[in-house]
Structure 1
């Protein structure tokens, strides 16, 4: 028997391509479902966190202004003049200005006419 005859005489094994393809589809479908569920959970957690931070932020904003005096800035006012008018005797004006900037969330010493500042 020649080699070619041996090759043709053996039964040919067929691969079940359909089964493999359907397994890939179901695996892919499962992965998509899992990713969609994970995305939904992340979105829900994000919305919940946002709501909590907004509610907590509003409460902190109202709570932080209680117990402080406020002053409205008029033309010609500077942080130095406002601090000089409201510091106690012997208190360092620079320290008072630093507290004013922290309390009012000022990044610089620039203030504007009509702006309301809280005093420490």
Structure 2
């Protein structure tokens, strides 16, 4: 029994055991390298995609912001600047300021408006 243990110990410490350990280490190193390469590839892909998206997206944003939509309202009988302002002003906006903007935008000298007149809304 003792001789079998000695032979087994000698067999385990021989060159075969060393090469198995070395092979495992090489395999682990290859795995780590593959993981690192994969992570770097993903980061690079995200960076390039984000850069291209931002570069292309900025042109669209400027094109949309360059030509704001102008909204008109046609004056009906009984309308006043105050009634137009109260129906079209943003919630919480000062109506006096909105009337002032209406007058300035439409080059009105006073608050007199006429039926059928088109007014540009601020």
Give TM-score, length-normalised by structure 1: 0.50
The answer to which structure has the higher helix fraction is 2
Which is higher, the Rg of structure 1 or of structure 2?
2
Give TM-score, length-normalised by structure 2: 0.49
